[in-house]
Amino acid sequence: MDASSPELMPLSGVTVLDFSSLVPGPLATLLLAAAGAAVTKVENPAGGDALRARPGSFGLLNAGKAAIAADLKSPDQVARLEPLLRSCDVLVEQFRPGVMDRLGLGYDAVRAVNPRVIYCSITGYGQSGPRRGRAGHDLNYLGHSGALELVRHDGVPGSALPPALLADVGAGSYPAVINILLALLKRERTGHGCHLDIAIANNIFPFIFWALAEAGSDPLAPGAGRLAGGSPRYQTFRTSDGRTALVAPLEQKFWNAFCEVIGLDEQLRDDAGDPQATIAAVAAIIESRPSSYWSAVFEEADCCCSIAATVEEAMTDPAFRARGLFTAASGLPHPGPAALPLPLDRSLARTLTDPAPDLLPAPPDGTASGRESLTSCPLL
């Protein structure tokens, strides 16, 4: 039997009922599906997951899942979910605290029919606390943690806008998966399920551990920290053709090699005295040459420096292609990769290149046609 077949995957036989939408929950359940779990999305009949409006993103995050439509405000339709609630190993939901309780689908209600269930609630601010009911997005969670105010603004008012959904993915999806797997392991030993409280804003802090460690000694003004722009050893610089050079020679041996290949003045190589003067000198040197020149120089020097790639360049990068990260899309309603590269070892995951047949884009009129209705779902 093929080692990547679902029967041999780590989560083979694990069933997941997914009430989440958009990014944090769906990416978490995608990881579970890639590890062999059988995931069923439960969507609102009036349009379904809001991410369906962006078919490319929806397809990447929901490959390999099945879907049913259920109006959770209808007691009759909620009652029809009971067979799934009784049999699922994991339930993932992403509503504000209290919503699932009002729908009759809260942890206590589900546990009453399925004591072994691992019930994972993903929210912005957690099931308790003064912000528990507050709305938010990735940017808000990053802001509350203090992470955004560590970034240099380059003269533009306000914090720098992060280029990735760091909170949703790094502080939402990944902690959800980690906790679900740990809870499954604990259940094997105890026989009991549990309620997991994943608060995205709480989970930002491990990403800025260095700032937390330094907070008691120096003020952490934007751009002032060693890893946030205060040191020439961790900086971005513009090249003569407008590309971005990424300079990160933190260790002394890399810094020595970097200074040598760019020809930095000897008096400025000891950057402890006047780091801003060293930064200015390095900026002038880097800006004097195009990115192609620096790319070759940095490759030869091996000093933790490189040129920032565009997303398009990254998707065609031979180094990533050699690792099997990107393959051309086939039969999907978007021009991107056929599957989202996931942080799972190949021996533990199967490739999910296509959404399940019933995961079709929601029709323009917002009805449930094009997807299985709750009453016709073969799982009920």
pLDDT digits (tens, 9 = 90+) for 261-279: 999 999 999 998 899 999 9
Q: Which domains does the chain have, with CATH numbers?
A: 6-206+324-348 (3.40.50.10540), 244-307 (no CATH)
**Mean of the per-residue pLDDT values of the chain:** 86
Least confident of 113-117, 282-286, 349-353, 370-374: 370-374
Question: Do 44 and 67 meet the contact criterion of CB atoms below 8 Å apart?
Answer: no
Is residue 260 classed as helix, strand or coil in its secondary structure?
A: helix
For range 345-368, the mean pLDDT: 54
Q: What pLDDT is attached to residue 259?
A: 97
Q: Measure Cα distances from 41 to 18, 48, 340, 349 in Å.
A: 5, 10, 18, 20
| 200 token code pair | 């995205």
Span 284-321, pLDDT tens digits: 999 999 999 999 999 999 999 999 999 889 988 999 88
Q: Where are the strands (E) in the chain, listed by range?
A: 15-18, 38-43, 66-69, 90-93, 118-123, 194-199, 235-238, 244-247, 305-307
Sorting pLDDT into bands at 50, 70 and 90, what band is 147?
confident
Q: What pLDDT is attached to residue 220?
A: 63
Catalytic residue among 89, 138, 168, 271: 168
Q: What pLDDT is attached to residue 347?
A: 87
Q: Where are the strands (E) in 77-145, listed by range?
A: 90-93, 118-123
b/e per residue 150-185 (b: at least 16 CB within 10 A): bbbeeeeeebeeeeebbbbbbbbbbbbbebbbebbe
For range 365-376, the mean pLDDT: 35
> Any catalytic annotation for residue 168?
yes
Give the closest residue to 279 by CA, choosing from 235, 222, 223: 235
